[in-house]
Amino acid sequence: MGGVSTTLDDLPLRDDLRGLTPYGAPQAALPVALNVNENTHPVPEDVADDILDSIARALREINRYPDREFTALREGFADYLGHGLTRDEIWAGNGSNEVLQHLLQAFAGPGRTAFGFSPTYSMYPLLTRGTGARYVAGERGADYTLTASDAAAQVADVSPDVVFLCAPNNPTGTPLGLDVIEAVYDVTDGIVIVDEAYQEFAPREERSALTLLPGRERLVVSRTMSKAFAFAGARVGYLAAAPVVIDALRLVRLPYHLSALTQAAATAALRHTPTMLGMVDEIVAQRDRMSATLEALGYQPYESWTNFVLFSGVDDPAATWQALYDRGVLIRDVGIAHSLRVTAGTEDETTAFLDALASIESAA
């Protein structure tokens, strides 16, 4: 009992957590923050008013536990997703990270393996290791794409218990064909998670992995309200899967894990889906404007179906990041050589980023 602990090494931490680094993105009060793929458009005033009214009503019964099954919210998500889904095929949590954590708690854990194709969302390995499972990173092509045959071969070689498929991919913005999902599903007996956090920013004629759910009881499609719905601060994520998968998640969730206030806010936001999604077209337009201008400046932007752009051809990413920071613009160094990632913001924010980047070039 003696002594004072001053570092993690002094604590009886799990051996498999030693040396790991927690998730983190720079937070700074800069005029233009385009580093964590938020929807930078504010929630429209009429929608905000309805959300506030719903929260106020929920507060009148805040002394009681919330609906443990968040029934109205699941019905709202089922209606939004369509494809004949019912509330029995819907799950939700405090952000899509908690939803993914539930899946790993149920289907991964000690002695099991999760697999993803690097580079991809940095939380996959962190969440995996947090549950005591092993994470294996596969490889992508030079342009960060995946073919069905290569993806299936890599998964078959590892035989994981959980597979993460980020579609479209973060941090590269890369599209993922449904043929890849089908091929991966067919070569594994594990759970296949298709993370569609950015699906609303994909071309509207493209099919979602939701269309693959019928007959595939091990397939899961996760979504978030953080991006297209401008709801990052509310922390609401959800998924669609076979009812038996939903039953499995009830085994690991904490009691009453979604507060009454969260349920009220999210249900109200879903009532205004057309208005909330009206921002998507503007964001896509700014994303495409960014890509075109980045190319004109001599960089190499990658194809993106998200609300951000990864661009390469950056001689010194750290120096460019700092130069933009000094000009009041915050973007993200995601650790990919000679590359940086920037979120598509409002028209003014996009202009500020592009002007700042051009001024760095001029000063070089």
SS3 readout for the chain: CCCCCCCHHHCCCCHHHCCCCCCCCCCCCCCEECCCCCCCCCCCHHHHHHHHHHHHHHHCCCCCCCCCCCHHHHHHHHHHHCCCCCHHHEEEECCHHHHHHHHHHHHCCCCCEEEEEECCCCHHHHHHHHCCCEEEEEECCCCCCCCHHHHHHHHHHHCCCEEEEECCCCCCCCCCCHHHHHHHHHCCCCEEEEECCCHHHCCCCCCCHHHHCCCCCCEEEEEECCCCCCCHHHCCEEEECCHHHHHHHHCCCCCCCCCHHHHHHHHHHHCCHHHHHHHHHHHHHHHHHHHHHHHHCCCEECCCCCCEEEEECCCCHHHHHHHHHHCCEECECCCCCCEEEEECCCHHHHHHHHHHHHHHHHHC
Write out the CATH class of domain 8-42+275-363: alpha beta
Amino acid 13: pLDDT: 87
Tokens found for residue 71 = 């029934």
- Alpha-carbon distance of 215 to 143, in angstroms, equals 32
- Looking at residue 327, its pLDDT comes to 96
Strand-pair category, 134-139 with 113-118:
parallel
Each residue's pLDDT tens digit in the chain (364 positions)? 455 657 888 889 888 888 878 876 667 778 999 999 999 999 999 999 999 999 999 999 999 999 999 999 999 999 999 999 999 999 999 999 999 999 999 999 999 999 999 999 999 999 999 999 999 999 999 999 999 999 999 999 999 999 999 999 999 999 999 999 999 999 999 999 999 999 999 999 999 999 999 999 999 999 999 999 999 999 999 999 999 999 999 999 999 999 999 999 999 999 999 999 989 999 999 999 999 999 999 999 999 999 999 999 999 999 999 999 999 999 999 999 999 999 999 999 999 999 999 999 655 4
Residue 139, amino acid: E
Structure token pair of residue 231: 């709801």
CA distances from 173 to 186, 276, 343, 353, 355 (A): 25, 22, 11, 19, 23
Identify the pLDDT of residue 362. 56
Query: What pTM did the predictor assign?
Result: 0.94
Distance of alpha carbon 79 from alpha carbon 111, whole angstroms: 38
Distance CA 228, CA 278 (A): 9
The correct answer on CATH 3.10.180.10 for the domain covering 45-271 is: no
pLDDT at 156: 98
pLDDT, position 29: 79
Domain boundaries, the chain: 8-42+275-363, 45-271
- Are 332 and 171 a contacting pair, CB within 8 Å? yes
